Amino acid sequence: MIEIKNYINGELLKSSNKNNLDIFNPSIGKIYAQCPNSSEKDLETAITSSEKAFLKWSRLKQIDRSQFLLKIASLIECNLDEFAKAESMDNGKPLKLSQSLDIPRSIKNLKFFATIANDLETESFTQRKVKSHILRQPLGIVGTISPWNLPLYLFTWKIAPALVVGNCVIAKPSEITPYSAYLFSKICIEANLPKGVLNVLHGSGKVIGRKIVNHKKIKAISFTGGTDTGKEIAKKASNHLKKISLEMGGKNPVIIFDDCNYNQMINSLIKSSFLNQGQICLSGSRIYIQETIYNKFKKDFIAKTKKLRIGDPFNKNTDQGAIVSEEHLNKILNYIKYAKEEGGKIILGGNIPKVDSKLSSGWYFTPTVIENLSQKSKLNKEEIFGPVVTLNKFKDSEDAIKMANDNDYGLASIIWTDDPNKANKLAERLESGLVWINCWLERDLRTPFGGIKNSGYGKEGGKYAIDFFTESKNICIKYYD
């Protein structure tokens, strides 16, 4: 049994209340670790250490702070396999995905923010003899709260910009997947990160997550997770007029025109539908197909989906690993029930697959394709966050845009067409923070990332993250003759 510990004031510690949570390996449905369910006392210790650390850390040269991030990045790089195995055991995702996406992207996040911060220009304005110089200063202690679907990837995406500009961070990873953040804490010790600059508190969102949000010494909360949690955080944070950034759920439309590059589209669509078992906020779960190619598309998409191999995340041939938890699997199963009640036709999957006997207590779900549902159906409205997509027909651009925008979420949209004019016009009208044309999951870390409507409030990425984690001060000076 692995014992995961908090990282407080530069040390690995058990929770002061000795209260632990069971951590499961979803591929076999068994407990493999225990992690602290941190208490208020743990948070107070972390805050005290961060207050002290901030005095020095915020005054270090930017380039010196960057060096720490680069050191941590290179230590993770040296231990990539250990991190990837930890992520797959904790989350159930195929090891090849942790090795090719989760951990490399975590390293990239650290390197990217370590370098971008040094390149940012400062602003100044001159009016006759008056010069205003805009100084960007860290906020102080900030809180980051991250989800289970891309554990280290989103953990580093938040802490890197926060730290590089001089904040101290209290980070809370998901209690469902705490392992890679624990390994990260060990790496911080190895990199000699000064005590208290980063504190990692594990535990339940409803306990320690809420306490972090409510703590008056924490100046900002950067959150990624579900929309209901985000709304609660927005309400609570307003009591202290805390800065908040909320990256939340999605129900992303994919619009496929008959003039698209068909082979590229089908290959990409398999990923945008089912990568990470569909547990990516950016997955395209509502697929709109121009009616002229609907039947051919359906046949080809089903044939390709059937080829996905479900099973042991540690087998290199596996495409679909386990669903993260039993609770989440039950949520997906409930949506299958709704689909049937709403008259949907399940044309593929909808069931728990047969897997190797050594995995029989694990949590698996077959990639599922459903058609015949109305736009009002729960399956077309709500985020399932699993390997389930709906197929819907459209006639023309107007029809497609109406259906795509008929949703409370607005994270990402995907368009497939070889007509750039049509694609651009559509992209302008789509209600989402991000539009991919003829691609999916292409990310330039300098661009703004975040949703609109129920998907987000605030933007992450590049200078947008730096803006969030700093306060700008105008220093205005007048020169006399």
Which residues form the interface with ligand NAD (CB under 6 A)? 145-149, 154, 172, 174-175, 205-206, 209-210, 213, 224-226, 229, 232-233, 247-250, 281, 383, 385, 411, 451, 455-456
Cα separation of 164 and 66, whole Å? 6
Catalytic residue among 87, 175, 247, 371: 247
Nearest CA among 66, 105, 481 for reference residue 276? 105
Cα separation of 101 and 93, whole Å? 11
Kindly tell me which of 364 and 385 has the beta carbon lying closer to ligand NAD: 385
Which residue's CB comes closest to ligand NAD?
205
- The answer to whether the Cα torsion of 114, 104, 440, 272 is positive or negative is negative
- Tokens of residue 348, six digits: 């593929």
- In the complex, least distance from residue 25 CB atom to ligand NAD, rounded to whole angstroms: 17
Q: Are 342 and 378 in contact (CB under 8 A)?
A: yes
- In the complex, least distance from residue 257 CB atom to ligand NAD, rounded to whole angstroms: 26
Kindly tell me which of 166 and 433 has the beta carbon lying closer to ligand NAD: 433
Nearest CA among 389, 392, 368 for reference residue 379? 389
Burial 178-199 (b: 16+ CB within 10 A, else e): bbbbbbbbebbeebebbbbbbb
- In the complex, least distance from residue 446 CB atom to ligand NAD, rounded to whole angstroms: 17
Local structure of 332: helix, strand or coil: helix
Catalytic residue check, 51? no
Catalytic residue among 188, 281, 371, 431: 281
Residue 425 CB-half CA count within 13 A: 9
- Tokens of residue 447, six digits: 């661009």
Catalytic residue check, 123? no
Kindly tell me which of 26 and 209 has the beta carbon lying closer to ligand NAD: 209
Kindly tell me which of 196 and 386 has the beta carbon lying closer to ligand NAD: 386
Nearest CA among 64, 1, 6, 2 for reference residue 39? 6
Kindly tell me which of 87 and 247 has the beta carbon lying closer to ligand NAD: 247
Active site residues: 247, 281
